[in-house]
Amino acid sequence: MFYIGISAYYHESSVFLTDGLNINCFLKEEYFTRIKGDKSFPKRSLEFLIEKYSLNEKNIKSVCFYEKPFKSWWEIFIYSIKKPLENKKLLIHHLKNFNTGSIFFYTHLNKTIKISKDKILYSSHHLSHCLYGSLYVKNVDDYAFVSCDGVGEGETMTIYTIDTENLIKKHWTNFYPNSIGLFYSTITDFLGFDINDGEFKVMSLSSYGDPIYEKEMEQIFDCKQLKLNSSYFEFQKDPERSFSEKLIKIFGKPYLNLVIKENFKKYSNIASSAQLILNKSVKNLILKAKQLTGKNKIVLTGGVALNCKMIHDLSKQNIFDELIVPPSPGDSGSAIGATNFSYFHENNRFLKNIGLFPGPDKNQINKKFQLNEFFEKISKKENSLETATELISKGHILTTYIDKTETGPRALGNTSIICNAKDKLAVENLNNRIKKREFYQPLAPMLLKEKFEKYFSIQDNIKNNLYSMGTLCEAKEDLKNDYFSIIHTDNTCRAQVIDNENSFIFKLLKKLAENNINIIVNTSFNISKDPMVFDLFDVYTNMRRMNIEYIIMNEGIFKAKEI
């Protein structure tokens, strides 16, 4: 019997399927539509699962949606109707989109697969976040579960506990529009980046600035009370505009092109100031969680938890014994949390840890493709390690397309682009020519766990986040000597450690160490603003567009053909 969780209609629609034992399969709708952050009902993802597992009414135990649709719609409607003239644009938009939103979840589901209504369950938005996070700790009763994002069901921050009797308790909630997530997204928009996609750029940019606008930012968002000053914002009135003229009066005209160097320092100062407000607000949220729950270990989830600079900064303030961020804390991971909710509903116990790679196996994805249509084999499987080591040592940039797919937004080695982190030219080519990143965006190093302390330092209370790039760490002198090109301007790196001895990446790092290469650069296998590759057609198309020759696959090492 299968349990299915679905997240959709807001950002990064996704589906997770499990039998609660050995079968797990996570999919994002963007894999199929090639629209990054696709929020539409995940019809294609479901169709993939229907075909793969022969799904039908009889073998599906339940389908759980990650939030309560009517509550989600109603809370924003009630907020808007309180001041109908002031919030007119938002109210009209909200009413116009009634027919396309999550209220019609069951209708959309039933068009794809017939499921009786008594098998449909609804979790709540922030609980789904927390139940996803619960899969990455051993003893749930040791932790307070803190969710922080833009908004879901009218809530912006929540604090939960789950005790040994599997009882879920909500201790506190903050309500819309008092959202640190929407505050940060507004600054993202002001700086000329896309909301729900450009926040990581603001985070990177902040390291180049100084928080000289701290006092002004505190007028905009109260870090202690966790309240937003609505007069600086428009998102609660107009769905097409996030900030008001009052914000512009403080910081000047919104910036649309950070390539213009003469304004760079000013806008990096704005980013730095916003980052400080985020850090202070989440610190106070965690302190509130500790006070209300008596727990000194925290699971932090929701989209805000993706800010790994914040995680690193908080770790040094001695406010928790441990902080865990799951690998996909945003809405897409909530499909897994919703599945956990339905599994608990049926079995009175929660799912077990699903690991970092619950996506489908690459070989199962590509049944309709023949490798030799697109690729020429240059190395057999048994020689892959030697060939990959030789290519990387010579300065080549390689892609990986192996084993199962990652869940989160960060590639963890199975769907990656990699190169020798010691090779400055290769690193620059990867960052500038291939990924076409802005100069202020860093790249992430990957290394064996046993080598980590030679090159990096980090607080013990966040070490477990190194497996999924969930935090930054600080560079030591040994790193500066040989790998200076991967160090960010604030002396940090978003490192990933590898300790799975059965993985190809582990074996490759061991082999590279024989050539005195202890660190490789790892970035996601996609072109900027595109989703990560999913099938062989995506793989080939992206390699040709990025002019990358070589790829590591389960079957060996291949070279893209010229077709």
3-state secondary structure 356-397: CCCCCEHHHHCCCCCHHHHEEEEEEHHHHHHHHHHHHHCCCC
Could you please state the CATH topology (level 3) that the domain comprising 180-324 is classified under: Nucleotidyltransferase; domain 5 (3.30.420)
**Tens of pLDDT along 290-330?**
999 999 999 999 999 999 999 999 999 999 999 999 999 99
Q: How many CB atoms lie within 10 A of CB 111?
A: 11
pLDDT at 101: 87
Q: How many CB atoms lie within 10 A of CB 75?
A: 18
Spatial CB neighbours of 354, under 8 Å, sequence gap ≥ 6: 18, 24, 26, 135, 336
Q: How many CB atoms lie within 10 A of CB 114?
A: 10
Number of H helices, E strands in the chain: 21, 23
239, amino acid identity:
P
Q: Which of 534, 536, 240 is nearest to 374 (CA)?
A: 536
> Strand 297-301 vs strand 143-152: parallel, antiparallel, or unpaired?
parallel
| Separation between Cα atoms, residue 69 and residue 8, nearest integer Å | 10
Interior angle at CA 208, CA 249 and CA 203, nearest 5? 80
Exposure b/e, 282-307, CB count within 10 A at least 16 = b: bbbbbebbbeebebebbbbbbbbbbb
520, amino acid identity:
I
Numbered ranges of CATH 3.30.420.40 in the chain:
2-128+328-347, 180-324
Interior angle at CA 34, CA 306 and CA 62, nearest 5? 70
Kindly tell me the burial class for residue 25, based on how many C-beta atoms sit within 10 Å of its own C-beta (0-12, 13-18, 19 or more). buried
Q: How far is residue 288 from each of residues 146, 224, 226, measured CA to CA in Å?
A: 10, 10, 11
In the CATH scheme, what is the homologous superfamily, with its name and number, of domain 362-560? Carbamoyltransferase, C-terminal domain (3.90.870.20)
Q: Which of 256, 231, 263 is nearest to 245 (CA)?
A: 231
> Strand 322-324 vs strand 297-301: parallel, antiparallel, or unpaired?
parallel
Interior angle at CA 45, CA 39 and CA 47, nearest 5? 135
| Separation between Cα atoms, residue 532 and residue 542, nearest integer Å | 9
Q: How far is residue 337 from each of residues 206, 389, 444, measured CA to CA in Å?
A: 32, 39, 28
pTM to 2 decimal places: 0.96
Spatial CB neighbours of 247, under 8 Å, sequence gap ≥ 6: 186, 190, 220, 232, 233
pLDDT at 388: 98
**Rounded to 5 degrees, what are φ and ψ at 56?**
-155, 180
Numbered ranges of CATH 3.90.870.20 in the chain:
362-560
Residue ranges of the chain with pLDDT lower than 70?
Answer: 164, 256-261
Tokens representing residue 168 in the block: 């879920």
Give me the percent of the chain exceeding a pLDDT of 90: 86
> What residue has token string 């589906």?
15
Rg of the chain, C-alpha, whole Å: 23
Residues paired with residue 456 on neighbouring β-strands, in sequence order: 475
| Separation between Cα atoms, residue 237 and residue 277, nearest integer Å | 23
Average pLDDT, the chain: 94
> Strand 398-401 vs strand 550-553: parallel, antiparallel, or unpaired?
parallel
Q: Which of 268, 288, 319 is nearest to 148 (CA)?
A: 288
Residues paired with residue 300 on neighbouring β-strands, in sequence order: 146
Tokens representing residue 449 in the block: 């766990």
CATH assignment of 2-128+328-347, given 3.30.420.40, 3.30.450.20, 3.20.20.140, 3.40.50.720?
3.30.420.40
pLDDT at 394: 97
> What residue has token string 């009763």?
141
Q: How far is residue 164 from each of residues 18, 138, 140, 319, measured CA to CA in Å?
A: 23, 12, 7, 24
Q: Which of 23, 81, 29 is nearest to 52 (CA)?
A: 23
pLDDT at 439: 85
pLDDT at 256: 66
pLDDT at 259: 52
The DSSP symbol for 86 reads T
Q: How many CB atoms lie within 10 A of CB 166?
A: 13
